[in-house]
Structure 1
Amino acid sequence: MSEIKKFQVTFDCAEPERLARFWCEVLGYVVPPPSEGFASWDDYWRSQLPEQRDSWFACIDPSGVGPRLYFQRVPEGKAAKNRVHLDVRVGTGLVGRERLAALEAECARLVALGAVHVRTLLADGINESTIPMQDIEGNEFCID
């Protein structure tokens, strides 16, 4: 039997800390403590070479169950649709109007954080409702 591997999800982005803090709010994740020997992340970044400052940031699931999210600064902007995206599972087990209400409430909360509501896909008899969105840097994700 295969061993289960831990993994992280990596985002290329322009502003790693800002995007990490957005996803902390979306998922209930937290920023881990700074590296050993540093009282704060600001202290850590000040110790780095200028070209390395603010080059990455991360957030973690406080329960230890979900994957670590890692955000790395890249020089180029987003150019095309994501090949992989996150589905934020807020409607699990819900159907019909109850599911749609939960999705719409979460959509409103995330829009207030800076996300963009792309559209609402209503249940069609085969698939349940879902709401495609974009985070604060334009990365696609869905409320499912």
Structure 2
Amino acid sequence: MGAVLGQTEGGPCPCGTGEAYAACCGPLHRQERLAETAEELMRSRYAAYARGEFDHVFRTWHPRTRPADVTADAHLVWQGLEVLGTSAGGPDDDTGEVEFRASYQLGKQRGTMRERSRFTRRGARWVYLDGHEITD
């Protein structure tokens, strides 16, 4: 997955919260703190794909389900994230689900991807387990 062009440390976070990247997903990407909820981890993973922070994507993927390598399509540009709903995944939960829609551009083609992602805790850390794409 390619990066959003023009993203800086002081600019808005691609995850859609409206906060600056440096205060939002940046600390998670830099391993300064852990995500408190499944939704926060999902948003940080989206932002990591959008910014090209693939080490964060790999690190937050459950070892049982993650691929050996996380690769990127240099032509894919992530353009927006909309969280559609959550189930569990709070600070006191062990599992959670987040449904989202992400918009992208690939060359001249624009599209959206909708997924229901499952998360679980490994120790004190939320990790991505798997996701199921939803067709509209």
- TM-score where L is the length of structure 1: 0.23
Q: Please tell me whether Structure 1 or Structure 2 has the larger radius of gyration of its CA atoms.
A: 1
TM-score (norm: length of structure 2): 0.24
Return the structure number with greater helix share.
1
